[in-house]
Copies of this chain bind each other. A is one copy, B any other.
Amino acid sequence: MLNAADNELLTRTGAATPMGQLFRRFWVPVLLSQQLPEPDCPPVRVKVMGEDLVAFRDSKNRIGLIEPHCPHRGANLFFGRNEECGIRCAFHGWKFDVFGECLEMTTMPRNDGYEKARARIRLKAYPTREAGEIIWAYLGPTETMTELPAMEFMRVPPSHRFVSKKLQQCNWAQACEGALDTAHFTFLHMSIGEDDAHGVMNKSEAAASGDKDRVRWMRNDGMPRFTISEHDAGLVMGAARTADGDDLYWRISQFLMPNHALAPSTFPGENYHGQTFVPINDEACWIYCYTWNPDRPLTNAERERFHAGHTIHASVDENWVPIRNRNNDYLIDRVEQKYRSFTGIKGVSEQDACIQDSQGFIADRTREHLGPTDLGIVRFRRLMLESARSLADGQAPRAASKPDGYLVRAGGTVAHSSQPLDQVMTARFGDPVGIVREGYR
C-alpha cells in the first residue's frame, strides 16, 4: 500500500516529474529496429514518457529522434522526406540531420547572416543506439549519459533471440509489477481440472524438462516465500514453493532499473525471457519482449510460436496492438473460464494484460492489502521511490553507471530447503546475484 503522493510519484514519468527524471538517466527502448527497416526509409512517430517525437534512419544508417515540429512554421516532420542524411520538411524544404542540426534553410537568402542564423536553429534531438533489434534512446542530460545496459539478449547472435513488442493500455508501473509478482502463477495462468499442463507453459519445453512437476508445485503452493537481494543493476527476487520431499521449487526473477523484468521460469538449457516497460504516457506503455537462448539458435517452430503469441509474446496486429485487449475484454470466454482455465482468456501475455489493465489506467495503490507474497513489488516500489527522491536531492542512480550489472540471468531451479537464496543462485547461475558466468546455461 502506498499513500496517494507516493502513488503519483511512482507512476508519473513526464519530463517535469521526479520519476520522469529518474527514467531519463537510463536508456529506454523507443522502437523495434524493424520499424525503421533501412536507410532513408519513412520516418515514424514516437511517443515516450509523454514526449511527441519523430524518428528516422538516415543514409548513413544513423537513427535520428527529434522533436516533430519544424522550427520554421511548425509543420510536422513526420510528413517530411527522409533524404540524403537528413529529413526535409514537406512545407518549405528546411532540412535537419539526426543531431537536430539545421542543414538547409531553403527559404532564407544566402546572405551574410545565413550561417549564423542556421547555426542558431536546432531541434531537440536525443542520442540513440541500436542493440538487440531495438532502438534505444537517452532522454536525459548529456553529461550523465552512459553505455547501454549489457543485457544478455543483446549480446547473443540474432539467431539465438526473438524480439517483439506489444501495447499495454495502463500505467507502466502496474504492468512491471505484474511481471515481478511471481505468486500469481498459481492462479491467473492456471488451468482448471485435470488437464494441468495445457496452455500455461511452453509445451515443447515441458516435454523435455519435467514441466508437469513444476505446474503441480505451483498449483499446490500459492504462498511462495520471497527472498530479495539488491545488486548493482536492481533486485534479484527469489520465490520458493514447496516441491517434493525436502526440496523447494525456486522461481527467481530480476528487476533491472528502471523498467526491466527478467522472467523466473527458465531451467538450464531452456529459453530465457525478459520484458521492458516503456511509458507512452502515464496511461499506456509499450512492452518490449525478448526471448533468447545463450546456447543455440531458436528453432523456426519456436519463432512461429512466439510470433503467434506465446509466453510473454502477445498475439498482435500490424501496429503491435494485442488482438485480445482492453477494448474487447480480451475476448474472454466464460465457458472456457468455467471449465478449463482460470481466466477464460487465451495467452499468458493476455492474461497478464487483462489483470493489470483491470486495476485501472493508473492503479490506486492506496486501497491495497499486501501480504508476504507481495514482497517483490514492495521492494520494487521502495527502490524506485527512493531512487527518484535521491535524484531529486542530487544523487544520481547507481545502476545507470553500472551497465555491466545488467548482464544477469533469472530462472528456476530446485534446491534443498536448507539452502539460502545466494547459495541457490550460485548453484544455478554460478553467481549469487545471477551475473552470467561461463559454464552455466
Contact = CB atoms under 8 A, between A and B. Distances in A.
Contact of A343 (B73, B79, B342): B79
Contacts of A76: 358-359
Interface stretch (A103-111, A157-165, A205-213, A266-274): A103-111
A332 B80 CA distance: 11
Contacts of A223: 106-109
A287 interface: no
A396 interface: no
Interface in A111-142: 117, 121
Contact of A75 (B78, B92, B355): B355
Contacts of A93: 186-187, 222
Interface in A250-265: none
Instruction: Determine which residue in A72, A90, A222, A359 has the highest number of CB atoms from chain B within 10 A of its CB, and name it.
Output: A90
Contacts of A75: 355, 358-359
A420 interface: no
Contact of A107 (B78, B105, B371): B371
A188 B73 contact: no
A343 B92 CA distance: 11
Contact of A106 (B73, B222, B355): B222
Interface in A340-379: 342-343, 345, 351, 354-355, 358-360, 363-365, 367-374
A372 B342 contact: no
Contact of A222 (B92, B183, B364): B92
A370 B374 CA distance: 57
Contacts of A40: 338
Given A79-B343, A369-B121, A92 B183 contact: yes
Nearest to A332: B79
A364 B187 contact: no
Kindly report how many copies of this chain are found in the complex they form together.
3
A74 interface: yes
Nearest to A105: B371
Interface string A180-222: 0101101110000000000000000000000000000000001
A69 interface: yes
B91 A187 contact: yes
A72 B369 contact: yes
Contacts of A91: 184, 187-188, 355
Given A91-B188, A92-B183, A74 B360 contact: yes
Given A90-B351, A107-B183, 19 more contacts: A42-B337, A69-B360, A71-B369, A72-B368, A76-B359, A79-B343, A79-B345, A79-B354, A90-B342, A90-B343, A90-B355, A92-B187, A92-B373, A93-B187, A105-B371, A106-B187, A106-B223, A108-B371, A109-B372
Interface of A: 40-42, 69, 71-76, 78-79, 81, 89-93, 105-109, 117, 121, 181, 183-184, 186-188, 222-223, 329, 332, 334, 337-338, 342-343, 345, 351, 354-355, 358-360, 363-365, 367-374
Q: Would you list the 6 A-B pairs with minimal beta carbon distance, nearest first?
A: A76-B358, A42-B334, A93-B187, A107-B373, A74-B359, A108-B371
